[in-house]
Amino acid sequence: MKINTTQWVLLGVAAMLAAGCATSMHPDEARTKAAAMMKASFKDRGQAKVTRIDQDDMQKNCSIYSGGNVMPKDLAARLEKAQQALIKYPADGKLLGDWKAGERVAQAGVGMQFSDNPKNPAGGNCYACHQMTKAELSYGTIGPSLYNFAKLRGYGPDIQRYAYGKVYNSQAFSACSSMPRFGHAGILTEQQMKDVVALLMSPDSPVNK
């Protein structure tokens, strides 16, 4: 026997101490280390650069207040206000495009992945997360159903403006929403956003049938 009894006991105590003392890292430290580790663990590929790991104020705060850690109301209000200031409404004042084109935007799921051709337009992929029409049964449940959106909310200019603003920057109305900021992040063009807003708002749109 190479290790005697005293050494075993000492080893045992050391192991117990190690187990007992090893507490979780402070979440702030874990986040700082995670960000640094991620920067070193990814590489640029096509349009997806490593700078995508960097966070803006909203992303940083939403990462902190997640996993059961609830964001204080005043911080949420401050973030929403900051995001509202970033919304650019169309210069021509027209918020509604063509709902048929909007349906195509809502269906399309590609865009901004390193596997996507940046020359092709991105989609809105609304159906990934929302029910929208009766006809499309393949819809996700991350977001609420938008079926009969304007029929229930009204077709007026204030709701049109809300719908456009929501698609442009979802965070402006509910901080830390899971919905991408389609206008703010440059995912959709102004025309594409007008078209999906028409899909939500037009009385002829299957959304409101």
Partner 1 sequence: MRKTVVIAACMGVAIGFASGLALSQQDKSTIEEIERYRQALADGNPADLWEMRGEGIWKQKRGPKNASLEKCDLGLGPGVVKGVYTVLPKYFADSDKVEDLESRLVTCMVTLQGLTPAEARKDPFGGPGKKVAMDALVAYITSQSRGMPMKVSGKHPKEREAYDIGRAIFFHRSGPYDFACATCHAVDNQRIRLQDLPNLLTAKDAQRAYTSWPAYRVSQGELRSFQWRLYDCFRQQRFPELEFVSPASIALTMFLAQNANGGVFNAPAIKR
> Which residues would be at the binding site for partner 1 (CB under 8 A)?
18-19, 22, 24-25, 27, 30-31, 33-35, 37-38, 40-45, 48-50, 52-55, 58-59, 62-63, 66-67, 112-115, 127-129, 138-142, 171, 178, 180-181, 185-187
Cβ–Cβ under 8 Å, residues 108 and 123: yes
Residue the block writes with tokens 């049109």: 160
Residue number with CB closer to ligand HEC (130 or 184)? 130
The CB-of-26 to partner 1 minimum distance in angstroms stands at 9
**Gap between the Cα atoms of 209 and 199, Å rounded:** 11
Compute the distance between CA of residue 135 and CA of residue 114 in angstroms, rounded to an integer: 31
Which of the choices partner 1, ligand HEC, none does residue 53 contact, using the CB cut-off of 5 to 8 A by kind?
partner 1
| Closest approach of partner 1 to the CB of residue 130, in Å | 11
Nearest distance in Å: CB 98, ligand HEC? 14
Considering only CA atoms, which of 186, 43, 192, 188 is closest in space to residue 114?
43
Q: Which does 151 bind (CB under 5 to 8 A by kind): partner 1, ligand HEC, none?
A: none
* Measured CA angle at 183 (ends 93, 106), to 5 deg: 95
185 vs 203, which CB is nearer to partner 1? 185
SS (H, E, C) 125-189: CHHHHCCCCCCCCCCCCCCCCCCCHHHHHCCCHHHHHHHHHHHHCHHHCCCCCCCCCCCCCCCCC
- Taking the least distance from each CB to partner 1, the nearer of 5 and 51 is 51
Closer Cβ to ligand HEC, 125 or 208, answer by number: 125
Q: Residue numbers of the site for ligand HEC (CB under 6 A)?
A: 106, 124-126, 128-130, 142-144, 146, 163, 166-167, 170, 174, 177-180, 182, 196, 200
Tell me how far, at minimum, the Cβ of 24 lies from ligand HEC, in Å: 20
In whole angstroms, give the CA distance from residue 32 to residue 115: 29
